[in-house]
Structure formats: C-alpha cells, structure tokens
Copies of this chain bind each other. A is one copy, B any other.
Amino acid sequence: MKLHEYQAKQILARAGIPIPDGRLATSPEEAEAAAKAIAAPVAVKAQVHTGGRGKAGGIKVAKSPAEAKAAAGAILGMDIKGLRVDKVYVERAADVASELYLGITLDRDRRRPVVILSTVGGVDIEEVASSRPDAIARGWPSPLLGLLPFEARALVFAAGVAPAQREAVADIARRLYRVYGESDATLVEINPLFVQKNGSVLAGDAKLDIDDNALFRLPELAKLKEVSADEEAEEKARALGFSYVQLDGDVGIIGNGAGLVMATLDAVRNAGGRAANFLDVGGGAKEAVVKAALEIVLSNPRVRSVLINIFGGITRGDEVAKGILDVIQAHPPRVPLVVRLSGTEAEAGRKLLESAPLESRETMDEAAAEAVRLAKVPATA
C-alpha cells in the first residue's frame, strides 16, 4: 500500500524529522489560502500514487497566493500516468543548497533492511547505483537492534556528507529507521533530502510503502488506503482472496498458484499470444471462487478467450469443474473457454466438463496454444 507524500510527511514529522510547512488542498481556492497562510514562496505538488510527477508537470513553484491558485488550477484534474490528480500539497519552498538521497528498503539477499544514503539526491537512485556506485553508501542494521548510532555515523562518513550536516543526517536516518520499523514499511524514502543554504536539513519529498500483510496491526495506516480506478479489479480480487493483475493482451488467464499462473502466461507468449491478466485463485479454490474469478476476467472487454489452468493439490479438479459449469450455465460466456485440469480429482473434473461448450486439453502447452488460436478467431455473433 502506497501513501501520498503529504501523509508520509506527517508520519516523518511525528517521528521528529524536519519537513517544510505544508497544507493539503483540493481546490485552487484552498491552495491560495494555504499559500497565504504559509506566507512565502511555495511548491504546489500533485498527490498521486506514482513517480515522475515532476516530469509530467505535476509540481509548480508559486511566488504568491495568486500564483499558487493558478498552479493548483493547472494541476488538479491532470492525468499523470493514468491517475487523476484530486489533491495538491502546498508547501513552503526550500532554500536549497544541495540534495541528498536517504531510503530504507529490504535487501532480500542479506535478509536485512538496507539503509541507502547518497549525496547525489533528487534523481533516480537506481541510475546513480549503476552509474556512480561509489556515490552510494549502504548499511544493513539488525532488525533486532534497529539502526544504531554507530551505523548511522558510518553511513554518513561513507557517503561523504559534509561535516556540518553529519549529525543532522545521522539523526534523520535513525528516525527514518524507526518509521520504517513502526509502520511495517517495505520502502521509505526521502528524495531529495534538502540541505538548505542556512545549513539545516529538511525532507523535500517522502515516499512510504506499507506491507499489505501487516495492515491488520496498523489500524491508523490502514485507514489511509485509497484505491484508484484502475486498481479496482485488483482490489476486488484481493477481497475474494486471490490475486489479479491486469495486463494488455487478449487471452484471459485463470490458474492456481502464482508460479503456475506465471508459467501459463509464459506458455501463452510461447504460443504467440499475449495474456490479458494474471489471476491466481490460490490454494483450495472452491466452486464460488472459480465463479468469481471467471466474472472478473470476463469483465475485461479486451479478453477474447479464457484459459483456465488448474493443477490440483489442495484444489480439487471436480470442484473447479463444477464452478466452471455453474458460471457458464448461468451466464454463457461471450468468449471461448479452454480448460486444462491436472492433479487431484482431475479426471473426475474432466469428465464433468465433457459435454460442456468449452475446449479441454491435457497439457499446459496444448491449452495455451488453443487459447491463443481462439483469441485470434474473429468474433462471431
């Protein structure tokens, strides 16, 4: 789950990390009032769950309340990477001398959090990592002890932070680590971390992604969840206990198990087609689940055929077959179905499907080839 900049900054501020004075606005008038209250040049910043808003024109500097109003007018309603801007954050413009990068995420190989600090801030850190690896300092605190003062100091020295900012940056790193831990973050990032001309240090932007699996113990953060239009189907699927990702092809995919579904997507590509989605019904999929999954996949207008690939373990082939029969009897699907059942009770399932209006195949490769072929047949009726 992603938070907006203004939400992330509130959390940083509560942890004692300095942020610029700022206010949220949902209309040009509110933005004007905010700029008036701040009484200084401001930045008006689109609040959307995506990166690259700067390049897309989602950030404008305004020297007066009137300019802030105009800027908000231009930004609100804007479309950034498919997301509509409904809110802007109006923030006192910093007096920037230099920019740093500070972030914490998971290092999967070391199975530890990794704290990343660089004196090259305000840019794509992955780019810096590959072009100037020496400009990046990393530290791997123990999750049992947190980021210790000596570790924060080591980072500051290794990154080459200027002497005047060392203490402040080390302190912010330790506070940011506390935010990371306390909010079950998968990523927390201050980029840029401003050094102002007077020497003070201040979070220029903030990014905070929360581990969805931990939301059950983070009631305050869970309230901040926002679902954008294009994520609705994914959210609906999640609520039903399976995972769905929309893609841009025309072969709808349903399978059980993330690896198997990925392999099915690959098989469709191997057969010269393109998958319309990823949909994993998970373990122990029952009739009702299969039904709901079919409905979600068919709700995508691009879908021209559906491939159902189930390898039974906990999931039973006969139950899956019943689910398929049920849904196609109640709502005959607008596109052809290809089903491949294997594993537990697969034979019983295949028998149930024998007389149904669908294609049944024994192997994943065959089923994928058939689904791709059918998606290319011009629509009739």
The DSSP consensus for interface residues of chain A is: loop
Which residues of A128-148 are within 8 A (CB) of B?
A: 144-145
A289, chain B: closest CB distance, angstroms: 32
Using Cβ atoms and an 8 Å threshold, which residues of chain B touch A144? 144-145
Chain B residues whose CB sits within 8 angstroms of the CB of A145 once the complex forms: 144
Closest to A143 in B: B144
- Bound-complex Cα distance A267 to B290 (A): 87
- Interface size range on A against B: under 10
Within 8 A of B (CB), among A101-153: 144-145
Docked pose: A19 CA to B283 CA in angstroms: 46
- What 0/1 pattern do residues 231 to 258 of A give for CB contact below 8 A with B? 0000000000000000000000000000
Q: Please, which residue of chain B has its CB at the minimum distance from the CB of A142?
A: B144
Considering the complex, give the chain B residue whose CB is closest to the CB of A144.
Answer: B144
Q: How far is the CA of A70 from the CA of B23 in the complex (A)?
A: 59
Give A291-308 as 1s and 0s: 1 = Cβ < 8 Å from B's Cβ atoms: 000000000000000000
Nearest CB of chain B from residue A84's CB, rounded to whole Å: 43
User: Complex formed: what's the CA distance from A144 to B144 in Å?
Assistant: 6
- A289, B204: Cα distance in complex, Å: 52
Complex Cα distance, B144 from A275, in Å, reads: 47
Q: How far is the CA of A144 from the CA of B145 in the complex (A)?
A: 7
Please give the distance in Å from A174's CB to the nearest CB on chain B: 14
A195 to B144 alpha-carbon distance, docked (Å): 35
Closest CB in chain B relative to A98 CB, distance in Å: 33
| A10, chain B: closest CB distance, angstroms | 24
The docked-state distance in angstroms from the alpha carbon of A10 to that of B144 is 29
| A-B CB contact pairs (8 Å), 2 listed | A144-B144, A144-B145
Of all A-B residue pairs in the complex, the 2 with the closest CB atoms, nearest first, are A144-B144, A144-B145
